Chains A and B, each alone.
Chain A
Amino acid sequence: MTKTANRLQSLRDSSLSRRNFVIGSGAAAVGGATLLAACGDDDEAAPAATTTAAPATTAAPTTTAAAETGVGTTTLGSNYSDEKPRNALAAAVAATGVDTIINTIDHNTYQENFNTYIQQPDDVVAWFAGYRMRAFASKGVVGDISDVWDNLPGMSDGFRSAASGLDGKQYFVPLYFYPWAVHYRKSVFADNGYSIPTTWDEFKALCDTMAADGITPLCAANDGRWPQMGMFDMLNMRINGYDFHVSLMGGRENWEDARVQNIFSTWEEILPYYQPDPNGRTWQDAANALGDKSAGMYLIGTFLTSNFDGDTQADIIDDIDFFLFPEVDPAYGQDAIEAPIDGFMMAAEPANEEGAKALLAGLGSVAAIDAYLSVDPSVVAANSNADTSGYNALQKKSAEAVSSAKFISQFLDRDTDPDFAANVAGVGIADFLATPGNIGTILADVEAKKQTYTFE
């Protein structure tokens, strides 16, 4: 009784006609079975798709619940579960004009559970660019949206390639990004007469000066085993170049190679400037050292400012600036930057493909990202035509840094097999930070474990 009432209420709430949903679920059942076949690691699953694909419900003509865009109702799976991003995404979706039901799942469960979620997905799903998108694209569980890209003004070629699968088709629409750079306090640099280092030697000299001035030169956190992946990525791209980085992430290089050894020997040069025992420190705790000026510099994403309260700690936020990671090898200069891109994919067989594509095109548009930024201004629009008048200094700088970069990486755990990143590379980096002298055995171990991954 109450169940029926609840259901009616929820249907009313979502302004979704029951009939429409029935068709949708039937199609989802079919789609789900096909997806399953695609997810299976062998071909045997394929026949199962055809035999079990019988829809549980009978289709009825779609006559109701069409939105003003005329493409019907679509669904969006979202991991924007924090309050601000959640409201911002709702604003962005509203700006697209497509009638959409947003299914918000807490970001951690969503990401860890994505393999099962994508077998029964919403029409459009929030995800990340780069390897993590390509892995699903090559398994056929997300849909080709190249035709959406035919009409996405303002998206640069860099974003198009970040949105492309290995087959060259597009599977992803970027919404925003946030670069990683070396953050510092403007007032600390001004008061002590420090200048921005652009080369590795200048960087180390600055660390020495800071240490002499009683400031811990480098904030260092590695709780969760991801923060220091950023340092690894930057050192690799500065020492060995972007192409080698991509190749290493793709599992095509030997981790015992002299070039990889070189990353860690260079890294070891700055370890004395780190806060001690980074493996046990959360990135927020490290950020607090920048907040109270006991530490001088911090390689982290621009989400750093979210650690400080917008009202009571506005002075700290305004005082934070960043510079690009210094050049190590002049052959590569500062040509690469790490800037993870967040955006959306389409399910391989969405219940409402027309609606899904309309929503994706809308989310890639200027109107959507403008609406997003008006609620959550901590990120930078992927669309170059977006309204940047509301940008603060950091956002402007971020946009410039990324648009002038020759190469954009996504972050270690997005650029390679996520399991390899978490359980092999991440562990290796943490071990290195604990006992730098063991790097030989650590790399041998990483290389041995790497053999168990296919990187497909």
Chain B
Amino acid sequence: MSDTAVATAPPATKHKGPRVKPMRLLLYTFLTVMALAWLVPVGTALYNSFRYWEADTQPNGAFSLPETLTLDNYRDAWNVGEMAKTFGNTAFIVIPALFFTLLLAAMVAYACTRYSWKFNIAFLVLFTAGNLMPQQVLFQPLFQFFKRMPWPDILSDTDTGSLLGTKIAVILIHVAFQVGFCTFVLSNYMKTIPKEIDEAAAVDGAGVWRRFFKIILPLTRPALAALGTLEFTWLYNDFFWGAVLLNRGDERPITSSIAVLNGQWASDFNLIAAASILIALPTLVVYLILQKQFISGLTLGASKG
């Protein structure tokens, strides 16, 4: 889109070929340089994650030729960062959070798009406005609320006596914050599904639940898949809530593994690079598998409102 815009910027009618070519060349040079510039940090991190820090990268510099290549950094990052455990913690938080976010958001979206009642619009506006609130602002009230909220041990993964310090609390916060955006997107998508489908099902005797689960939800699948990839990345990358609500180091999500590898005085940056790459892998995998949905997800809900 942008390249045609640039290429045809002066609406050239005659002499199309020779005029466009230098512009094209310029464009591709620019794009290549930008792409490489973006790749340098990632590439350097990847390259140095295979080198020793104290014996090699630190004295010789990050761009020098390697003395030896090694996988030790990956092994150490996995062990010292206790990644087996923190990956598990992240899965424990992200999977239920993702499931409930999408389910609840779809329900709200369904109600707001299929039924008209007085506060229909106000309700949607409320959910959309929730997206604009910086999460950190709510930290203190939520923290104090969780601390005062008794929580039966049987319903939690850790025994803290209150909701504070449990992964359940983190899941609840994620659901609450993400439902707003998902409702916004899903309601816009559901508006594009013809109402007649609902009406036909109702005439055939399908109840509200049945229409929601058997007809609308399956039709919303592309939007759900797109949201699923986006939300997975966002929830997976969360460090803030995991760090402030979970008081036990071994309860914390994968993002805290990098923090653990940051030394008090001296940091082994190659080790941190290896950890970063390990941690980025799951999001990369999800992205590659659901690439199509991810890209359409970025513009989802942008055109209808």
Contact = CB atoms under 8 A, between A and B. Distances in A.
Interface of A: 3, 6-7, 18, 21-22, 25-26, 28-29, 32-33, 36, 52, 54-57, 77, 81-83, 85, 103-109, 113, 116-117, 119-122, 283-284, 288, 303, 306-309, 312-313
Interface stretch (B102-110, B156-164, B187-195): B156-164
| Chain A binding surface, main DSSP class | helix
B247 A120 contact: yes
Interface footprint category on B: 35 or more
B147 A81 contact: no
A145 B247 CA distance: 23
Given A33-B147, A33-B148, A81-B260, A284 B266 contact: yes
Contacts of A56: 150-153, 161-162
A112 B265 CA distance: 16
A36 B159 contact: no
A123 to B, nearest CB: 12
A77 B251 CA distance: 13
B263 A103 contact: no
Contact of B260 (A18, A106, A122): A106
A244 B277 CA distance: 50
A109 B256 contact: yes
B164 A113 contact: no
B160 A85 contact: no
A328 B115 CA distance: 81
- Most chain B CB within 10 A, of A22, A33, A54, A105, is at A105
Taking each of A21, A36, A106, A283, which has the highest tally of chain B beta carbons within 10 Å of its own beta carbon? A106
A166 B80 CA distance: 40
Contacts of B157: 3, 6-7
B248 interface: yes
A54 B150 contact: yes
The 7 A-B residue pairs whose C-beta atoms are closest, nearest first, are A25-B161, A56-B150, A309-B54, A105-B249, A29-B161, A106-B259, A106-B260
B249 A32 contact: no
Given A56-B152, A306-B266, A312-B54, A120 B249 contact: no
A107 to B, nearest CB: 5
Contacts of B55: 309, 312
Given A36-B144, A309-B54, A117 B161 contact: no
B244 interface: yes
A113 B244 contact: yes
Contact of B259 (A26, A57, A109, A308): A109
A53 B256 CA distance: 31
B116 interface: no
Contact of A103 (B162, B243, B250): B250
Nearest to A284: B266
Nearest to A3: B157
Contacts of A113: 243-244
Interface in B236-268: 243-244, 247-250, 252, 256, 259-260, 262-267
B58 interface: yes
B143 interface: yes
Nearest to B162: A29
B297 interface: no
A109 B243 contact: yes
B298 to A, nearest CB: 31
B247 A108 contact: no
B228 interface: no
B180 interface: no
Given A36-B147, A107-B264, A28 B160 contact: yes
23 contacts: A25-B159, A26-B161, A32-B147, A32-B162, A52-B148, A77-B247, A81-B249, A81-B260, A103-B247, A103-B249, A104-B249, A105-B248, A106-B249, A106-B259, A106-B262, A107-B264, A117-B247, A120-B162, A120-B164, A284-B267, A288-B58, A307-B265, A309-B55
Nearest to A32: B147
Contacts of B152: 56-57
A120 B160 contact: yes
Contacts of B243: 109, 113
B80 A83 contact: yes
Contacts of A6: 157
Contact of B147 (A54, A107, A120, A309): A120
Given A3-B157, A56-B151, A108 B259 contact: yes
Nearest to A105: B249
A354 to B, nearest CB: 20
A25 B160 CA distance: 5
Contacts of A81: 249, 260, 264
A56 B161 CA distance: 6
Interface in B28-77: 54-55, 58-59
A54 B263 CA distance: 40
Nearest to A27: B161
B264 A85 contact: yes
Contacts of A3: 157
B117 to A, nearest CB: 37
Nearest to B148: A52
Given A57-B153, A307-B266, A116 B148 contact: no
Contacts of B252: 105
Contact of B161 (A57, A85, A308): A57
Contacts of B153: 22, 25, 56-57
Which has the most chain A C-beta neighbours within 10 Å: B55, B58, B161, B262?
Answer: B161
